[in-house]
Amino acid sequence: MRPSQILRSSEIPIGKYGHFLNKDTWGNLGCIIRQKGIITYTISPNRQKIFAGAFHDAVFNTWRRFTSQVLYWAPPLLAAYYAMDWANKRNEYLNSKAGRAEFKEG
């Protein structure tokens, strides 16, 4: 239903013909006084760029963590490697012709 001629002749259009309740902001629905209880949230700038400096920090953080932990796992790893290498060489020698001749049964 369209407004009457009297209503259309006023300076402020009403309804769907150009007058909107929300003419300023969402918190001010056409009222002079701002509404209470409206809370707005924003994202901080450091959260907007989630990968800012990620690759640079990844390299240096990885290096820092590696250097702080290398003395805990490197010596046992080297000892196990050399023990396994010695055991393999010893096994090959004992199963060779020279090793069998050296430790011949009988």
User: Which position has the higher pLDDT, 28 or 38?
Assistant: 38
Give the dihedral sign, CA 44/49/51/52: negative
Q: Is the Cβ–Cβ distance between 6 and 17 less than 8 Å?
A: no
Question: Does the pTM exceed 0.75?
Answer: no
Q: Is the Cβ–Cβ distance between 14 and 7 less than 8 Å?
A: yes
Q: How confident is the model at residue 31 (pLDDT cuts 50, 70, 90)?
A: low
pLDDT value, residue 51: 83
To which residue do tokens 């060489």 refer?
89
Please write the tens of the pLDDT for every residue from 12-22: 555 555 545 55
Q: Is the Cβ–Cβ distance between 34 and 28 less than 8 Å?
A: yes
Each domain of the chain, given as residue ranges in start order, spans 1-31
